[in-house]
Structure 1
Amino acid sequence: MKYSKRIMLLLAVDSFIVLGSVFISYLLRFEARIPEPFWDSMPYAMGGIWLVTYAVFYFSNLYRRVWKYASVGELVLIIRTTTVALGMNLLLYAAVRMSGMDIGIPLTVFLLSWMTTTIGIAGSRLLWRIVRGSQVKIQPHHKKALIVGAGDAGTLVAKELKHFPDTTLYPVAFIDDDPAKLYMEVGGLPVVGMRRDIPAVVKRLGIDTIVLALPSAAKSDTANVINICKKTSASIKILPRVSDVIHGNVSISTIRDVNVEDLLGRDPVAVDLKGIAEYVTNKTVLITGAGGSIGSELSRQIAGFQPEKLLLLGHGENSIYAIENELKRKYPGLAYETVIADVQDRQRMVEVFDLYRPSVVFHAAAHKHVPLMERNPAEAIKNNVIGTKNVAQCANLFGVERFVMISTDKAVNPTSVMGTTKRIAEMIVQSLNRRSTTKFVAVRFGNVLGSRGSVIPIFKQQIREGGPVTVTHPEMVRYFMTIPEAVQLVIQAGAIAEGGETFVLDMGEPVKIAKLAHDLIRLSGLEPDRDIRVEYTGMRPGEKLYEELLTAEEGTAGTTHDRIFIGKPAVFSVKEFMAKLEKLERAAFNNYMPVEPEHLKAMLKDLVPTYQLAASDLEEAKNRQKAAEAVVHRRKLEVALGAEK
């Protein structure tokens, strides 16, 4: 209904109620036997009370309320408004009497009309709400919903679900651990049990969806409830934030699917970035790999600390274009430059550093996919090792204040080419720190939820396609963290760095990948090995069952943050390390005589003795490389002899 028509309708209804209230007040005052003189004064009473009451109603914004959603607040407004109208009517009556006029209106009529007007107006609004916002009955297309949590958030969600016909969910009951609510009704819905009763309730009531309305609960508590819900066949949804309740934003649109983050069972790592990120404010900050999962999140978070200029460097133009557009929308006043460049190109890196003179560098550019790098070790060496060397040496050459390199837990006792190249990158940073004024540090963490190519998006895609969900080994476990957590750690590391450290985050308990796959299937409302098959494919080259965060030599030391630890720098000969690194670089970039992958792995083993490469692979690598060198030597000799002839 249009606003003008709505106002006219409400005005007509209210006029009828006010005028009728005055008439009823006369009837009550004189016990239904109104004397003749008072019939003559009734029109004056009706006109005066109506005029004053309407004016008060209008200026108190009573007609701007949406009565379909009327509640206690609207009732209080009605009482307050009619009381103000009563006060003004009494003042007007007193003024008339003081002027010497006697219009013959009994004083009690004002009090009685106030009471009847209040009841009439409130009753009309309640009737309006009942007619316009009548509860939607359960329909064939509805899915039965069980709401866990009969508090403020749960009751608000139930109210919306019951009154909106467009939603596919219909609430039928609550679950709550409060004994005072058990077997009572909240918002017209019964509280049928406690959290331990969820499986039985789901089966008894035929529940299709469980909605977790526990926005203020700890992560561990939410994870426990989710674990109980996973024993049922119902899909699980969750109300995400306590701020939704505080700001009154709880609605059916805020209900989301349960994410893997909800299953980790730990609260996010809290870092007060406002107190520690001042070292990037008013500084030129360079982020390599700025289009990647970590690099783009670094860009988002650092943009909020007013850097003098933010340099977004990446090799892929599409990813850099995407983060540029995002920052342009979110931070219109940000000074930034997009740089398309390859960290393997040393001359290009020198040009970038010479032109922009960054004060802080976050080095996130890297090849990270383990199986791919096993098959392409030369590319892993070029990007992860030589690329890091180029950027780090430029940082030293141009006097960068802080250099933070992104590393991985796969660099500890590595079994893969990727992990070994990242370990060498850490050693490059540590070796430069010994002779540079730049503070060089590395930040080491595990798997990042939601990053490109990580296991979670792959599992979700496989579930969407109907399976199977592929897991390499039933006993494989990994540490997990969210992208914002990882980036906060990186920024924190730059703040507390003294130089040479490897920072490690306490990521809680490791998660079994097979269990994660089963959980994701259940959270999608499906049953593992019935609706979606879980298939074990066997460990891939370079993988290991358990990841580690620190080597035995590094040990551990605490920091000012209770979830961040420091691995002590490893002791090694820089001179010997650099000599071997030079040979590795020549071998990786040797286009004249491509080096066998096995030989490159052997060279990596020479640089990182903890690289767990099988002895048979080493021997085979050496033999194949010798054979290749012999063929090349023979061809050179033949060319030389032919030239002499």
Structure 2
Amino acid sequence: MLNFISALTRKQKAYVFLAIDLALIPLALLFTYTVQALPTAAVETLLQTLPILPYLLAAAAALSLWLGLPYIQLKAYEGHAVRLTAILAVGLAGAAALLSVLAGLSQPPGTHVIFGISYFMAVVITRVLLYQVVNAIYRRAQPRCRVLIYGAGTTGTQLASALRAHEGIDPVAFVDDNTSLQGMTLVGLPVFPPARIRELVTQRQINRVLLAMPSLSQPKQAQIARRLQKMGLEVQALPSFAQLIGEEALIDKLTPVAPQNFLGRKSRAEGLGGACDSYAGRCVLVSGAGGSIGSELCRQVLACQPSRVVLYELSELALYTVHQELLQLTEGTGIDLVPVLGSVTDARQVRKVLAAQGVQVVLHAAAYKHVPLVEANPLAGLANNVFGTQTLAREAAETGVERFILISSDKAVRPTNVMGASKRLAELVVQDLATRHAGTVFTMVRFGNVLGSSGSVVPLFQEQISRGGPVTVTDARVKRFFMTIREAVQLVLKAGSEAKGGEVFVLDMGAPVEIMKLARQVIESAGYTVRDADTPDGDIEIEIIGLRPGEKIEEELTLNSELIGTRYPKIFCAREGALSEIEVAAVIRGLRQALVDGDDDAARAVITRWVEGYHAGEAGRKSS
């Protein structure tokens, strides 16, 4: 049947409607005569009317086509179409009265009024019935999506009413947390508690859940959606009123909370000043140029007007992204940008790039820095962070580079994880080269966590909040030093200009920040409340998940408390003990053998022997 209906053209459908409307004329006449007399007399009267019937049908067809009634779709048959039908009925009643007089038929005056009313009702009822029949045929032939509406309030009931006329959706039931609504029937649908969702899905073959609670906070909606998705359900949320009237566009344009707002102290990014002289007119190579620190190094170095910046990066996507961004910054400046795709562990490529580009300053930011990942892949972390540093630093010395600055981490101080230990070994390698190559100034810059960098805690918290929580904190006692990317990079560049060789530079970062407090600040800055024992109705929960492998409760910035001031008030120099050339050679030999053998334990043994204060943290020991 559906194929037959679908095959009809618009004109053919109009002819069908016209034929039905004409067929209703004798039926309306028969009904009129039946109302006025007995059924047998009604038939006799209808037979007497047969001579004028063809003329009445012709008048009806002409008037109907002129009004355009046959061309009105069933789903569009509403107020305007009903008015046109009334005009047709009145016209037919007048035509019937005129034809009766001309034919000499003797009929009561009210006959034609009843005929007009009967015909009007017949056409309207027929159209409505046809629409229901055709709609039922389409619904039966097409797949239906059975939906459960979460929320039986005003929005939910209005949604259910609207969906009843939808060709492809069947609202099945409501679920609502409000116990006063549970057990009721609203707009023909029962209301169930959320605890019965799994049962309803099975019994009523539900495909999708519609969240009809636009006033509920976004995190709570996300929590409900995640719970339903785990049941294998497709979940969709009804837009809020703000979205419908366009205020959502304004919300999207609001500026995110700046990372320095979580710093807990005044930012110390004060500009480079005279430090720019060490980079102006020189060729500067930035390893790890596509990372958050590396890319900021490139931006700030460009402000010093170098002659060339070499972007050395292992990730193709990261290199492409930073190169495209920096091309806009260098347009019209005369500064050359040279993108190099490669690894700092590749000695041949490093040597070629340093010599061919005439590199004078190396800013070494390439490193694996995510503690749990390096803890799970110690050999890869050591190869990149230790051997990569050794290769780049050694080739820099041999090609006559003026300055080499290593980006280090506070996790290098008495580390409890392989990442921190690898950074400390990288420092020892650079310190060793500083004593043996007077032509190149080797130095290191050590700082804490960088707010806003990839993988840092604030973006992680913000992502967890966008998913509805919970925000995860490893331990309520954890504290960290924080600085902004801008501060970190200025420290590197200022220290690089100040260095004489072999120093470890650190920043006065103020008091460490409690991660628990930081998590609460990020939640509240997003406009939500923390859900805890005091506020059980809050939006986002903070969940303690335990220390990750190799993680410390608190970090340190130096191996000792002896700090030497510099001409920059907040930058200090720590001269720490170093290994001899023979000892560094032993470290490199031991690590290289561990890599060849693929032996994680042997690599950790080398770390334990040579890295001062190294011990695997409690979490790290459990993972080993």
TM-score of the aligned structures, taking structure 2 as reference length? 0.56
The 2-side partners of 1:462 and 1:618 are apart by: 28
1:425 paired residue number:
426
User: Does structure 1 residue 319 correspond to structure 2 residue 323?
Assistant: no
User: Which residue of the other structure, out of 460, 475, 478, is the alignment partner of 2:480?
Assistant: 478
Structure 1 stretches of 4+ with a deviation exceeding 6 A read 251-255, 614-621
Asked if the contact 2:551/2:617 (under 8 Å) is kept, the reply is no
Cα deviation for residue 272 of structure 1 reads 4.0
2:544 paired residue number:
536
User: Does structure 1 residue 522 correspond to structure 2 residue 532?
Assistant: no
2:9 paired residue number:
none
2:293 paired residue number:
294
Larger deviation: 606-615 or 452-461? 606-615
1:489 paired residue number:
491
Write out per-residue CA displacement over residues 393-452 of structure 1, whole angstroms, 9 at most, x where no aligned residue: 011101111100000000001001000000000011111000112100000000001100
1:602 paired residue number:
605
The 2-side partners of 1:557 and 1:497 are apart by: 13
Query: Pairwise mapping of residues 446-461 of structure 1 onto structure 2 (< 5 A)?
Result: 446-461=448-463
What's the secondary structure of 2:300's corresponding residue?
Answer: helix
Write out per-residue CA displacement over residues 254-290 of structure 1, whole angstroms, 9 at most, x where no aligned residue: 9745434123242221444131111111111110000
Q: What's the Cα RMSD here? A: 2.4
Cα deviation for residue 379 of structure 1 reads 0.5
Asked if the contact 1:598/1:618 (under 8 Å) is kept, the reply is no
Cα distance, 1:585–1:429 mapped onto 2, change above 3 Å: same
2:386 paired residue number:
385
- Sequence identity (%): 43
Query: Pairwise mapping of residues 27-426 of structure 1 onto structure 2 (< 5 A)?
Result: 256-332=255-331, 333=333, 334-426=335-427
Write out per-residue CA displacement over residues 193-233 of structure 1, whole angstroms, 9 at most, x where no aligned residue: xxxxxxxxxxxxxxx9xxxxxxxxxxxxxxxxxxxxxxxxx
User: Which residue of the other structure, out of 534, 554, 566, is the alignment partner of 1:546?
Assistant: 554
The 1-side partners of 2:620 and 2:505 are apart by: 33
2:510 paired residue number:
508
The 2-side partners of 1:439 and 1:346 are apart by: 20
What's the secondary structure of 1:434's corresponding residue?
Answer: helix
Cα distance, 1:260–1:324 mapped onto 2, change above 3 Å: closer
The 2-side partners of 1:462 and 1:526 are apart by: 13
2:587 paired residue number:
580
Cα distance, 1:614–1:537 mapped onto 2, change above 3 Å: closer
| Structure with greater Cα Rg | 2
Larger deviation: 567-576 or 300-309? 567-576
- Matched length: 367
Cα distance, 1:370–1:616 mapped onto 2, change above 3 Å: closer
TM-score of the aligned structures, taking structure 1 as reference length? 0.55
Higher relative contact order (CA 8 A, sep 6+): 2
Asked if the contact 2:417/2:617 (under 8 Å) is kept, the reply is no
Gap regions ≥5 residues in structure 2: 1-216, 218-249, 532-537
User: Does structure 1 residue 566 correspond to structure 2 residue 551?
Assistant: no
The 1-side partners of 2:496 and 2:606 are apart by: 32
What's the secondary structure of 2:554's corresponding residue?
Answer: coil
The 1-side partners of 2:394 and 2:256 are apart by: 46
User: Which residue of the other structure, out of 547, 556, 576, is the alignment partner of 2:563?
Assistant: 556
Cα distance, 1:531–1:270 mapped onto 2, change above 3 Å: closer
Cα deviation for residue 532 of structure 1 reads 0.7
Asked if the contact 1:309/1:337 (under 8 Å) is kept, the reply is yes
The 1-side partners of 2:569 and 2:619 are apart by: 44
Asked if the contact 2:549/2:620 (under 8 Å) is kept, the reply is no
User: Which residue of the other structure, out of 465, 468, 482, is the alignment partner of 1:466?
Assistant: 468
2:616 paired residue number:
613
The 1-side partners of 2:252 and 2:526 are apart by: 18
Cα distance, 1:614–1:528 mapped onto 2, change above 3 Å: closer
Asked if the contact 2:259/2:452 (under 8 Å) is kept, the reply is no
What's the secondary structure of 2:552's corresponding residue?
Answer: coil
The 1-side partners of 2:259 and 2:356 are apart by: 43
What's the secondary structure of 2:501's corresponding residue?
Answer: coil
Write out per-residue CA displacement over residues 28-50 of structure 1, whole angstroms, 9 at most, x where no aligned residue: xxxxxxxxxxxxxxxxxxxxxxx
Cα deviation for residue 350 of structure 1 reads 1.3
The 1-side partners of 2:490 and 2:555 are apart by: 22
